[in-house]
């Protein structure tokens, strides 16, 4: 638990100004508000809620929004969330339950960055493991994957964890010859490992064996692309209930934590945002 405890301690020490987006039309908004209130009262964050409207009495029975939790109300909260981050009004931002289709284009335009290089930070058996790429439109080329690995290297350094990359592919290494698609993926993963090593990054080709990669101490699970990464994330976190701190947009000069609207709690992403803020 050392890794996760360290993140909590970093957040308590920094108590960063963290903005989080909220769509009160979403059924997850009460969960988001409860997470933000807990993070505020436990002094993990100095909060700022960015929402499309004020909550009703049934959504905020304690009346904390506007009192304990400052709020900015906007018809386009995704724009305000990004501009608050870019302008330095807040130290970091969390997407919350705002639509990715709204927030991600705003981030790309605001920061002039086509590939956010999102890496999800998971807690697996008490230790921190990064999973990337997790954006379905990321990691489409080897160059993209190298950029993702570089971003994860910076994230690992900030968190004080070593970078050990597990390159994941479409089959076991001995499966070569069973499928032309698998053969191509194995070729690509082997080439990626060679390139990563040439850049001084510790990397191993684990084929399809994610479980072995985790057991042997890998700290970055590098999926073949963002579609595979997103499927792995959903399987581990949304089905298997592995704890997730959200996905850090490692390509940005500011701290932005992406979140899934299917989450039942936003506390850990808020804590990570404060720790890195």
For 159-202, write each residue's pLDDT tens digit. 999 999 999 999 888 878 788 998 899 999 999 999 999 999 99
84 plus 49 within the same structural domain: yes
**pLDDT surpasses 60 at 2:** no
220 plus 265 within the same structural domain: no
109 plus 167 within the same structural domain: no
Give 65-123 as a DSSP string.
BTTTB-EEE-S-HHHHHHHHHHTTSSSEEE-TTS-HHHHHHHHHHHHT-S---EEEEEE
What is the reported pLDDT for 179?
87
Query: For residue 55, what are the domain limits?
Result: 1-113+252-277
Residue 19: pLDDT band (50, 70, 90) is very high
d(CA 173, CA 225): 18
For residues 74-78, give the mean pLDDT: 97
Q: Which residues sit opposite 207 in a β-bridge?
A: 168
Select from 134, 100, 138 the least CA-distant residue to 120.
Answer: 134
Domain count, the chain: 2
pTM: 0.94
210 plus 108 within the same structural domain: no
33 plus 127 within the same structural domain: no
Q: Which residues sit opposite 124 in a β-bridge?
A: 127
- Here the tokens at position 174 are 């001995």
CATH number, domain with residue 261? 3.40.50.10950
d(CA 264, CA 5): 21
1 plus 108 within the same structural domain: yes
d(CA 93, CA 270): 8
What is the reported pLDDT for 65?
94
Q: Which range (68-82, 175-189, 223-237) has the least confidence?
A: 175-189
Select from 80, 75, 9, 79 the least CA-distant residue to 42.
Answer: 9
23 plus 138 within the same structural domain: no
232 plus 256 within the same structural domain: no
121 plus 236 within the same structural domain: yes
98 plus 162 within the same structural domain: no
CATH number, domain with residue 202? 3.40.50.10750
100 plus 124 within the same structural domain: no
177 plus 274 within the same structural domain: no
């Amino acid at each position: 638990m050392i890794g996760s405890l360290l993140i909590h301690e970093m957040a308590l020490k920094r108590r960063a100004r963290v903005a989080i987006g909220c769509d009160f039309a979403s059924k997850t908004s009460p969960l988001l508000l409860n997470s933000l209130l807990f993070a505020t009262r436990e002094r993990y964050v100095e909060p700022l809620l960015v929402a499309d409207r004020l909550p009703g009495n049934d959504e905020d029975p304690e009346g904390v929004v506007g009192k304990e939790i400052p709020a900015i109300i906007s018809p386009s909260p995704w724009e305000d969330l990004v501009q608050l981050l870019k302008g330095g009004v807040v130290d970091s931002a969390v997407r919350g339950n705002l639509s990715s289709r709204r927030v991600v284009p705003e981030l790309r335009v605001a920061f002039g960055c086509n590939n956010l290089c999102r890496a999800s930070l998971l807690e697996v058996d008490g230790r921190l493991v990064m999973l990337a790429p997790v954006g379905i439109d990321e990691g489409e080329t080897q160059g993209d994957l190298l950029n993702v690995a570089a971003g994860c290297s910076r994230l690992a350094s900030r968190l004080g964890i070593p970078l050990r990359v597990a390159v994941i592919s479409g089959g076991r290494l001995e499966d070569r010859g069973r499928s032309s698609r698998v053969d191509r993926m194995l070729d690509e993963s082997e080439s990626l490992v060679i390139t990563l090593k040439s850049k001084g990054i510790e990397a191993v080709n684990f084929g399809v064996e994610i479980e072995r990669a985790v057991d042997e101490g890998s700290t970055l699970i590098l999926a073949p692309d963002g579609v595979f990464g997103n499927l792995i994330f959903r399987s581990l976190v949304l089905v298997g209930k592995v704890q997730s701190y959200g996905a850090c947009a490692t390509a940005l000069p500011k701290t932005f934590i992406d979140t899934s609207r299917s989450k039942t709690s936003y506390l850990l992403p808020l804590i990570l945002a404060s720790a890195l803020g």
